[in-house]
């Protein structure tokens, strides 16, 4: 019985360590968006339809994770995210395949709506703290 309780304690401790080590921060959010933006800008000319779908889904996924760290975001981080969003939108506008462009624009619009919500929430938090 004692071994079982030690094992349970060890598993619990490992779980806590794993959770603490994998927490997602505001800087992680900025870094993820930066990496995706840089990768997209660098490789956009060679992207296939599937690549663009992957970019759109990854963009949405990053923004979903970012929702959880809004209150920890600095003004500089917010500005960086806005810059990345603009670059991604500009690159999407250059994309010529009409049907796929429409699909990607829809994904980007949803993500940009999310970014607008983030901006508003950050503004609200800033006003509350003043």
Rounded CA gap, 38 and 87, in Å? 9
**pLDDT for residue 59:** 86
Rounded CA gap, 120 and 117, in Å? 5
**pLDDT for residue 17:** 44
**pLDDT for residue 125:** 75
Q: Which residue has the higher pLDDT, 62 or 99?
A: 62
CA distances from 71 to 74, 124, 126 (A): 8, 10, 9
Q: Return mean pLDDT, the chain.
A: 75
pTM higher than 0.95: no
The two tokens of residue 19 are 């959770």
Pick from 22-31, 104-113, 120-129: least confident: 104-113
**pLDDT for residue 76:** 92
5-42 residue pLDDT tens: 444 444 555 445 444 456 999 999 999 999 999 999 99
The number of beta carbons lying within 10 Å of the beta carbon of residue 29 is 24
């Amino acid at each position: 019985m004692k071994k079982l309780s030690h094992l349970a304690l060890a598993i619990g401790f490992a779980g806590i360590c794993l959770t603490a080590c994998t927490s997602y921060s505001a800087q992680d959010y900025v870094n993820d968006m930066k990496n995706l933006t840089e990768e997209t800008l660098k490789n956009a000319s060679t992207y296939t339809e599937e690549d663009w779908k992957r970019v759109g889904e990854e963009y949405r996924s990053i923004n979903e994770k970012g929702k959880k760290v809004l209150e920890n975001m600095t003004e500089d981080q917010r500005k960086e995210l806005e810059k990345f969003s603009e670059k991604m939108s500009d690159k999407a506008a250059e994309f010529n395949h009409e049907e796929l462009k429409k699909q990607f624009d829809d994904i980007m619009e949803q993500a940009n709506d999310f970014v607008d919500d983030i901006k508003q929430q950050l503004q609200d938090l800033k006003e509350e703290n003043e």
